[in-house]
């Protein structure tokens, strides 16, 4: 699929409320996913729905999740319908009434049948994507996974074919009669920012902080 193609318009990805906040371009889905760190995986485990936060990576139109070979949610997801969301909080929207408070955000919802990946090359590419999503530059910097580590790792794939994106921007929408109230209204912007790297006390003394990790300090993630 190309970034130029529109997002799916299946029944379940069609926004009903505040449709004008929906985005139609596939490129907007990629934009939300590519600056994120955490997704929420919704899956039925032993008959009960569970939603778990986890890392992820994207390769083309496939989203990859990974975890321990004992991960119950990943095992339960294999061959079944799941739902994955990614959310960025962009601001707190303070209104004159408590009713009209809101948040500014960009979020993606993805539906599909998940599959455990068994092909070795695809598994490695997926793990590279998951690692690079977390800390760009680490795949080449850190030691590569051993056979034993790979055997202890599950990799799950989910197509990005069926997905929606919703975005809220701007200030509060108050009721006309509330604009004269003695109440502050506006937006408090929000963003994720990394601090200075804190070295592991057990590190080898001659190993210096690499540039790609040094560059994270003060770096805004998610925008
Ligand atoms: C940070 C954040 C905070 C929010 N807080 C609230 C809140 O407090 N109360 C509230 O009512 N809503 C909140 N929302 C919006 C919420 O996600 C839903 O969009 C909204 O509640 C409408 O729900 P619905 O079931 O009527 O959606 P529908 O419009 O019926 O959903 C149909 C389909 O549209 C798509 N869709 C819906 N919402 C989203 C989304 N957010 N992102 C991507 N695709 C979407 C999905 O594919 C979904 O299956 C918040 C969203 C975010 C990201």
Q: How far is the CA of 49 from the centre of ligand 1 (A)?
A: 18
pTM of the model: 0.96
Mutate to test the pocket of ligand 1, among 18, 105, 160, 166 (most ligand atoms within 8 A of CB): 166
Taking the centre of ligand 1 as the mean of its atom positions, its distance from the CA of residue 160, in whole angstroms, is: 18
Close Cβ partners of 138 (under 8 Å, ≥ 6 residues apart): 131, 132, 212
- Within a 13 Å sphere around the CA of 196, how many CA atoms are in the beta-carbon half? 2
Distance 84 CA to ligand 1 centre (A): 13
The set of residues, in sequence order, having a beta carbon less than 8 Å from that of 76 and lying 6+ positions away, is: 43, 44, 45, 46
- For the chain, the straight-line distance linking the first and the last C-alpha, in angstroms and rounded, comes to 24
Give 20's contacts (C-beta < 8 A, 6+ positions apart).
Answer: none
Q: Mean pLDDT in runs of 10 for the chain (223 residues)?
A: 79 90 93 98 98 98 97 98 98 98 98 98 98 97 97 98 97 97 98 95 94 92 82
Pocket test for ligand 1, best of 14, 17, 106 (most atoms within 8 A of CB): 17
């Amino acid at each position: 699929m190309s970034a130029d193609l529109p997002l799916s318009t299946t029944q379940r990805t069609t926004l009903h409320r505040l449709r004008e906040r929906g985005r139609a371009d596939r490129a907007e889905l990629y934009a939300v996913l590519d600056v994120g760190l955490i997704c929420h995986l919704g899956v039925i485990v032993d008959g009960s729905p569970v939603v778990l936060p986890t890392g992820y990576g994207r390769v083309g139109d496939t989203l990859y999740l990974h975890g321990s070979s004992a991960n119950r949610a990943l095992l339960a997801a294999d061959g079944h319908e799941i739902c994955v969301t990614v959310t960025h909080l962009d601001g707190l929207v303070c209104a004159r009434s408590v009713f009209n408070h809101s948040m500014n955000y960009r979020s993606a919802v993805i539906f599909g049948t998940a599959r455990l990946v068994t092909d070795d090359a695809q598994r490695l590419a997926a793990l590279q994507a998951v690692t690079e999503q977390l800390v760009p530059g680490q795949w080449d910097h850190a030691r590569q996974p051993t056979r034993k580590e790979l055997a202890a790792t599950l990799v799950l794939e989910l197509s990005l074919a069926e997905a929606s994106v919703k975005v809220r921007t701007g200030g509060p929408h108050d009721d006309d009669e509330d604009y004269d109230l003695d109440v502050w209204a506006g937006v408090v912007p929000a963003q994720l920012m990394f601090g200075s790297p804190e070295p592991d006390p057990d590190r080898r003394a001659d190993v210096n902080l690499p540039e790609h990790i040094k560059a994270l300090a003060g770096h805004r993630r998610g925008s």
